[in-house]
Amino acid sequence: MICVADEISLLTRTEQQLHTSKGNLRGQKSKVKEHKQLEKELAAVLRKRQNLQTYDVFELGMPVHRINSSRLGIVKELKITPGGMGEVWVSWDGLLQIPDVPNLLQIDGAALAKIIAVGDRIKIVDGHKLGGKTFAVERLLARGAVETTDEQIFEREEWQKVPNSIGSEGDEEVIHSTASYQEILMGSPPTEELEEGTPETTLTITAIVQLEELTKDEEKERHRLELKVERAFVEAGTALRQLRDGRLYRSTHKTFEEYCRDRFGFQRRHCYQLIEAAGVVENLCANSAQKDLGIKH
């Protein structure tokens, strides 16, 4: 079993050596064959390094989705092929596990944050044709979308979670029990008048919490802030990606991973999770923008 981090470092060094060799052959017309061979080797090294870098981001039990797919899957197994390439085995909708190419998968940030669960209730936001109606969640989909018990699908921006109400059902019973307890307490004889040997009674007082309704403006503001919290990692992931792709760490560190560890205290896996999660949200925003343009036209 190879150490993925060590293999990536080895491939990075090999890539640098191949770039150097290509540079040395530049301008030598008699070395065309050697130049093409170096390009072929370089392409293979790049493909393998990118595969392992993406593979190393995933963990067992992590929620994922394919690019441009609404299905939500769970990582069940991580394998390295005999050729040294990474494979992510995913269970889709709880069905058969199949191997997927890491580059075609994305971490599902919404599912990872556990913003909603099967059995929860959602309320459709104002502006939607079903605005104000509530539904029960039957199935979780990619990027925060949900399918309800009546087989309707709502995107993340179209719903907000209905908080679990405390005391909404059975309030009358609780209130009645409390009132009865008060009557018994008021009508009870003094302690000294109780017959000797009377068993003690343990009384449990249940506090009733009354939830306060929000105005429509407050609900909109809450939904806006919830989305902002969910997407707070986008700026960090985007910045890390730009630092990595532009190699802006090269003046102080040899590798991006060392730079992140020393500068931010981030482990390699955490950095790439942020980068992948930021990509998820960017795709979600792009899809929403396309839908808006389609509506306008």
The 10s digit of each residue's pLDDT in 15-60 is: 888 888 888 877 776 677 887 888 899 999 999 988 898 898 898 9
Cα–Cα distance between 213 and 222 in angstroms, integer? 12
Q: In this structure, are 235 and 294 located in the same domain?
A: yes
Q: In this structure, are 81 and 36 located in the same domain?
A: no
- Per the structure block, which two tokens stand in for 82? 């005999």
- Per the structure block, which two tokens stand in for 16? 């640098």
Q: In this structure, are 239 and 296 located in the same domain?
A: yes
Helix (H, G, I), strand (E, B) or coil at 291: helix
- Over 60: is that where the pLDDT of 189 sits? no
- Flag whether 277 is in a domain: yes
- Flag whether 173 is in a domain: no
Q: In this structure, are 8 and 34 located in the same domain?
A: yes
Q: In this structure, are 297 and 249 located in the same domain?
A: yes
Q: In this structure, are 49 and 100 located in the same domain?
A: no
- Flag whether 237 is in a domain: yes
- Flag whether 83 is in a domain: yes
Q: Given 55, 76, 97, which residue is the final one in a domain?
A: 55
- Flag whether 207 is in a domain: no
80 phi and psi, to 5 degrees?
Answer: -110, 125
Q: In this structure, are 46 and 91 located in the same domain?
A: no
Complete edge-to-edge strand list for the sheet that includes strand 153-154: 153-154, 146-148, 134-140, 121-124, 159-161
The number of folded domains in the chain is 3
Q: In this structure, are 286 and 244 located in the same domain?
A: yes
Cα–Cα distance between 51 and 56 in angstroms, integer? 9
Q: What would the pLDDT profile of 269-279 be if each residue is shown by its tens digit?
A: 778 878 877 77
User: Nearest to residue 57, comparing CAs of 9, 90, 102?
Assistant: 102
Cα–Cα distance between 158 and 128 in angstroms, integer? 7
Q: In this structure, are 46 and 68 located in the same domain?
A: no
Q: What would the pLDDT profile of 208-242 be if each residue is shown by its tens digit?
A: 555 667 677 777 777 777 666 666 677 788 888 88
- Model pTM score: 0.56
- Flag whether 254 is in a domain: yes
- Cα–Cα distances in angstroms (integers) from residue 218 to residues 61, 222, 226, 227, 256, in the given order: 36, 6, 12, 14, 43
Pairing mode, if any, of strands 153-154 and 73-80?
A: unpaired
**pLDDT interval class at 122 (50, 70, 90):** very high
Domain that holds residue 81: 63-112
Q: In this structure, are 239 and 288 located in the same domain?
A: yes
Cα–Cα distance between 15 and 143 in angstroms, integer? 35
Q: In this structure, are 99 and 67 located in the same domain?
A: yes
The percent of residues in the chain predicted with pLDDT above 90, rounded, is 21
- Over 80: is that where the pLDDT of 135 sits? yes
Q: Given 47, 80, 112, which residue is the final one in a domain?
A: 112
Cβ atoms of 76 and 46 within 8 Å: the answer is no
Choose between 294 and 151: higher pLDDT.
151
Mean pLDDT of the chain: 77
Q: How far is CA 83 from the centre of its chain?
A: 30
Residue whose pair of structure tokens reads 């599912």 in the numeric block:
111
DSSP state of 128: S
162 phi and psi, to 5 degrees?
Answer: -85, 120
- Flag whether 67 is in a domain: yes
Q: In this structure, are 46 and 69 located in the same domain?
A: no
Q: Given 112, 131, 150, which residue is the final one in a domain?
A: 112
Q: Report the length, in residues, of the chain.
A: 297
- Flag whether 287 is in a domain: yes
